[in-house]
Amino acid sequence: MAEATTERGEFKAEGSLEFVVSLEEQPFLDLDGKRRYQNAKFSKVMECGFCYNKLEKTFFKFDIAIEARDAIYPFQIELYRDINSDYYDDIYFFMDVSPTEDNSAFWLEQKIDFNGHVFEKEGCSSDFGRNGDGDPFEYDGKYMFQINEYHESDFKLPSKCKIKIDMKIYSLKDKKEEEAQTLLQFLKSDEANFKIICPTEDGNKEYYVNESLIAKESDVLETLMSGRWVEGQSKEMAMNDTDCGTLESVLTFCNTKALPMSAIDENLAIFADKYNLENLMDLMDKVLSMSLAIIEDKGWIIKWTPKLKMTRTALKLVKFLRREAKTTKLRFQGRKEFASCVYNGSPNLTWSVACKGNRELANYLGCFTEIKESFPKYSDLTYSKNVMIMLEQESEWPDDESVKSTVQLNEPYWSEDENDSNQGYENFFDFFGGLNSGSDLSENDDDESLATEPEDNNEVSDNNNTMSDSNNNTMSDNDIE
């Protein structure tokens, strides 16, 4: 077989996604390092604030993958600021969608729309990204998406970025096809040592899987697969409580650490809860929090938010409920009153109606009233069917961004006395009476001046969900008025 050329070969897959990300307000910057240096020298202030390796920064990043027929192609989406230390620390802003595995090169065509500015590139996958073979500081470089003008003197990164990404993947011409490491191993694997049976309308379907990969993600399945149980001794088990589509999505995740976004539904939530797949729950939380405002069927999401401890989604729900309350001039006098309002609901407000009567949810959301969202904030996520969300690699994140938060409720906000459940109900409707149902506010409304108590400086970001345990102060049943 002749050596592969860097030309387009056989079509493999295509995928697209679109989302909005809100960033912290950024200052205006002079991107020309030489000019900044001269100005600093002239003013006799050598530490000019914009120089000397202080400008390298990632504004957001997360991992996705494109699923093909026999493999997945992982990418990292990143918006970052970099400097050219070889030339006066010139500043560059890049929107990067680069392959994260370099063991199997392929032909890549990309089209990125960043706030209406369209960038199109094509070439060998190994050339893309800051670690690719292309020159990252070449203006309008062949494989880099530079969003600032060359040596701009007064540039400010937008605080709201609407991003659309389209990609097509091909093999390299004349390249000998090899089995990719990301091949869906539950369909074809020499290391399979366990059989899972799932019933279908046409009979049972069998999956041969690597037991150790499944056990790493689920302590429940690890126990069942151990030799003490029948399933472990026979090296097979029947899953009669799920469907094949859900099971295949779970097995795909266990083998590749990537989850099809289109597979996220209530069946997957039930499976993740039953078998305690915490990493899977975390990926579901990320995707649902990014797309909550535009999902039509919100009922199952609201139901499973507290059960799966989906903290990002809970923060979005609190945000939407507060915005509805803001339109009525409602002031919450603490977490207890907020939880009471969530439980009692209102027939005139969209999110309030959706959350009404769910005591577990009201209890859970009450924990987030004093937690402030931090940046970046994602919203309005849409995607093609074969786009996957990937488990982040902790080594790629700073320590404070790789912490996964949990909310622990020592005592519920709600009294188990049913007579207490309607307390505050009348006052709640005094505030909400007379409103129309058309109060479902856009998620992109970033006005956070809500009529609530001042919030503590505790932050939870869509990237890391870090929160201080010191704020898990719960109230006893006797505190509910």
Domain edge (last residue) among 123, 141, 172? 172
pLDDT tens digits for 439-470?
A: 334 455 444 433 344 334 344 455 444 433 33
CA nearest to 392, candidates 383, 384, 402, 382: 402
Q: Do 473 and 337 have their domain in common?
A: yes
Number of domains in the chain: 2
Residue 34 has pLDDT above 60, yes or no: yes
Q: Do 309 and 416 have their domain in common?
A: yes
CA nearest to 118, candidates 78, 158, 59, 164: 164
Residue 246 has pLDDT above 90, yes or no: yes
Confidence at residue 465, expressed as pLDDT on a 0 to 100 scale: 43
* 225 domain-assigned: no
* 270 domain-assigned: yes
- Pair 441, 293: CB distance under 8 Å: no
Residue 87's CB is within 10 A of a number of other CB atoms, namely: 11
> Containing domain of residue 453, as a range?
257-479
Domain edge (last residue) among 147, 172, 197? 172
Q: Do 321 and 458 have their domain in common?
A: yes
Residue 436 has pLDDT above 50, yes or no: no
Q: Do 159 and 261 have their domain in common?
A: no
Confidence at residue 473, expressed as pLDDT on a 0 to 100 scale: 39
- The CATH number of the domain holding residue 26 is 2.60.210
Domain edge (last residue) among 172, 204, 229? 172
Q: Do 142 and 261 have their domain in common?
A: no
Count of positions (residues) in the chain: 481
* 318 domain-assigned: yes
* 189 domain-assigned: no
Q: Do 35 and 166 have their domain in common?
A: yes
* 367 domain-assigned: yes
Query: Which pair of tokens denotes residue 126?
Result: 């190994």
| Secondary structure letter of residue 146 according to DSSP | B
Q: Do 410 and 268 have their domain in common?
A: yes
- Pair 205, 198: CB distance under 8 Å: yes
Q: Do 300 and 449 have their domain in common?
A: yes
* DSSP string across 199-268: EETTEEEEEEE-HHHHHHH-HHHHHHHSTTSHHHHHTEEE-TTS-HHHHHHHHHHHHHSEEEGGG-SHHH
pLDDT tens digits for 143-191?
A: 678 888 776 778 899 999 999 999 999 999 877 665 544 445 555 555 6
Q: How far is the first Cα of the chain from the last one, in angstroms, to the nearest whole number?
A: 79
Q: Is residue 172 packed enough to be buried (19+ CB in 10 Å), middle (13-18) or exposed (0-12)?
A: buried
* 316 domain-assigned: yes
Give the Cα separation of 76 and 96 in Å (integer): 8
The CA-atom distances, in angstroms, between 446 and each of 48, 225, 377, 412, 454 are 32, 48, 10, 31, 17
* DSSP string across 340-394: HHHHH--TT-HHHHHHTT-HHHHHHHGGGTT-EEES-EEEEEEE-TTEEEEPPPG
pTM: 0.80
Q: What is the mean pLDDT of the chain?
A: 77
Confidence at residue 290, expressed as pLDDT on a 0 to 100 scale: 96
- Strand partners of residue 373: 460
Q: Do 331 and 442 have their domain in common?
A: yes
Give the Cα separation of 376 and 459 in Å (integer): 11
* 180 domain-assigned: no
Percent of the chain past pLDDT 70, that is, above it, reads: 69
* 1 domain-assigned: no
